[in-house]
Amino acid sequence: MTNTLKHTDFYDNEGKPAWKAWLTTTDHKRIGLLYFYSLTVFFLVGVLLGLMMRFELISPGKDLVEAQTYNGLFTLHGVIMIFLFVIPGIPAVFGNLTLPLLLGARDVAFPKLNLLSWYLYIGGAVLALSTLLVGDGPPDTGWTFYAPYSVKTGTNVSMAVLAAFILGFSSILTGLNFLTTIHRMRCHGMTWFRMPLFAWALYATSWIQLLATPVVGITLLMIVVERWLGIGLFDPVLGGDPVLYQHLFWIYSHPAVYIMILPGMGVISEIIPTFSRRRIFGYKAIAYASLAIAFIGYFVWGHHMFTSGMSGPARIIFSILTFLVAIPSAIKVFNWLATMYNGSIDHKPPMLYALGFIFLFLVGGLSGLVVGALATDVHLHDTYFVVGHFHYVMFGGTGFAFFAALHYWFPKIFGKMYNLKHATRAFWLLFTGFNILYFPMLVVGIMGMPRRYYDYLPQFQVPNVISTIGSWITTAGLIYMIVVIVKGIRHGEKASSNPWNGLTLDWQTDSPPTKENFDAIPTVTERPYEYK
């Protein structure tokens, strides 16, 4: 690119002290990085708690921790992974880093609000983690805070719930910001159907964030009020209805699982065409599928409650609706496969993670159909099958998409390149470890082992030992990947502005981009992904 403007990238502090320049920044790329580093820390804390659980489960009986400690472990692990990692996850980090670049804009619509979202996120995170240290110990309800136990237990539930409320607010503001950005700030010529698919995915996600989060917000407030005032909103002894709590909770929390997965699918839709050198197959189908998933996702919450006491017809309807969600998800998978067909596929790390995503998401999605079907779910509900299922979707799906995005946009953000060979090896280690960790959970769940216990019957030991060994391999893979990334940030070779030969606008500007992203706002004349 030729230009006459002064050429400093967005890392330039413009004479301010670094801490000040970062903590008061309104630049979407810097805010994205703030999210990136804080998310990574919380993710690692979550992994540590997971490792402790797996270690406890290496043999029946007590190995490492007491039963009550274990209850705290899985609750905090769940709260951290859900509210601090997967829900903000890809939108907060990679949405912030790339959305304005993808749209050809200089920033998001409300840069200051964007910074506020980050502060709310940190505030919520600190509150959530401090439940460990203050009061009567970490909450022991599971991340779902089911009433009436959550209003009766003496542990620090109120704080954790307030944390979730604040994090929800942060998520709402990010969604609001992205929606306005996408509506108002696309560059010249970028019609809706010339938008990159990641932007489409963020668009659908933002609507869910906006429309579902307030409902859980008010529900969690009700839990807090109920605990403080000793009133009976959900406690059956005082006239409340605990099943109503479950309804309200899942009215948000099921759409929330699409907050987790849709952005991941968006990332994959960017990577697959770039590394197959092919135009994406079924652009519009993928875009509409995002909206369809977001829409249908609102009507399936009941499938978490097949065993909680709902009428027969309600259960059957929820089961059928659940199967409907599989359709747009499958549309996407088939479109990705069709895109790769006859393409010249390049197995660079981002593509490997994308392929890993497709495989693991397939296992997660198909096991989802098993628990989505009423008859089988009655047997599998609250067993390790469910634990295996959601790790395949959330960790294998969203987690791997997160890593894919990291490896894909790394040269753009840092202006450098990580070591491709080592990144590839890290992928294989992580992928192998992942399956050793979670596949046995599916098996032991079918055998009948219930979730959320620190102990189990002796006949479940073999799969549990395999799974625990898998957790060590997974962790080794994660550490390997982190080392590769950190080395890349520090000593990586300088990357060109478009190392993967991508066609979307993010690749048409400098790496790292300048503060203003583009010297002149670009004009778009065709769809993205027109590879020849």
Partner 1 sequence: MSTNNTVSENHSTAVNHEHRDDAGRKMGMWLFLFTELLLFGGLFLVYSIYRFMNPADFSNGSHHLDVFMGALNTMVLITSSLTVALSITAIQKGNAKLALRMLAVTILLAIFFLVNKYFEWGHKIHYDLYPGTDLFKALPSGEGLFYVLYYFMTGLHMIHVIVGAVILVFMGKYISDGSINSSNYTLLENGGLYWHLVDLIWIFLFPLLYLIH
Helix axes 461-491, 400-414, angle to 10 degrees: 10
Q: Measuring CA to CA, how many Å separate 38 from each of 42, 92, 266, 381?
A: 6, 11, 23, 34
- Give the nearest residue (CB) to ligand HEM: 50
- Residue 450: strand pairing partners: 383
**Which has the closest alpha carbon to 53: 475, 496, 427, 415?**
475
399 binds ligand HEM (CB under 6 A): yes
N residues, the chain: 532
**Positions in 204-233 near partner 1 (CB under 8 A):** 210-211, 213-215, 217-219, 222, 225, 229-233
142 binds ligand HEM (CB under 6 A): yes
474 interface partner picked from partner 1, ligand HEM, none, CB below 5 to 8 A per type: ligand HEM
Helices (H), 448-510: 461-491
Based on CB atoms, which residue is closest to ligand HEM, 47 or 321?
Answer: 47
Contact range with ligand HEM by CB under 6 A, out of 45-53, 164-172, 197-205, 352-360 = 45-53
**Which has the closest alpha carbon to 181: 197, 167, 202?**
202
Contact range with partner 1 by CB under 8 A, out of 349-357, 428-436, 449-457, 519-527 = 519-527
Rounded to a whole number of angstroms, the minimum distance from the CB of residue 5 to partner 1 is: 7
Based on CB atoms, which residue is closest to ligand HEM, 44 or 362?
Answer: 44
Binding mask 98-137 for partner 1 (x = CB under 8 A): -------xxx-xx--x------------------------
CA 84, 85, 87, 90 dihedral sign is positive
Collapsing DSSP states into helix, strand and coil, what is residue 408? Answer: helix
476 binds partner 1 (CB under 8 A): no
190 interface partner picked from partner 1, ligand HEM, none, CB below 5 to 8 A per type: partner 1
**Positions in 189-208 near partner 1 (CB under 8 A):** 189-193
150 binds ligand HEM (CB under 6 A): no
Q: Which residues of 494-532 are buried (b: 16+ CB within 10 A; e: fewer)?
A: ebebeebebbbbbbbbbbbbbbebbeeebebeebbbebe
Q: Measuring CA to CA, how many Å separate 504 from each of 53, 71, 97?
A: 43, 46, 14
474 binds ligand HEM (CB under 6 A): yes
386 binds ligand HEM (CB under 6 A): no
Rounded to a whole number of angstroms, the minimum distance from the CB of residue 335 to partner 1 is: 20
CA 385, 87, 467, 454 dihedral sign is negative
Contact range with ligand HEM by CB under 6 A, out of 27-35, 43-51, 205-213, 222-230 = 43-51
5 binds partner 1 (CB under 8 A): yes
**Which has the closest alpha carbon to 357: 418, 270, 280, 286?**
270
**Positions in 67-86 near ligand HEM (CB under 6 A):** 74-75, 77-78, 81-82, 85-86
Report DSSP letters for 33-65, one per residue. HHHHHHHHHHHHHHHHHHHHHHHHTTSSS-SSS
416 binds partner 1 (CB under 8 A): no
* Number of C-beta neighbours around residue 8 at 10 A: 12
Contacting positions for partner 1 (CB under 8 A): 5, 105-107, 109-110, 113, 172, 176-177, 179-180, 183-193, 210-211, 213-215, 217-219, 222, 225, 229-233, 238-241, 244, 248, 516, 519-521
Binding site for ligand HEM (CB under 6 A): 47, 50-51, 53-54, 74-75, 77-78, 81-82, 85-86, 142-143, 387, 391, 394-395, 399, 451-452, 471, 474-475
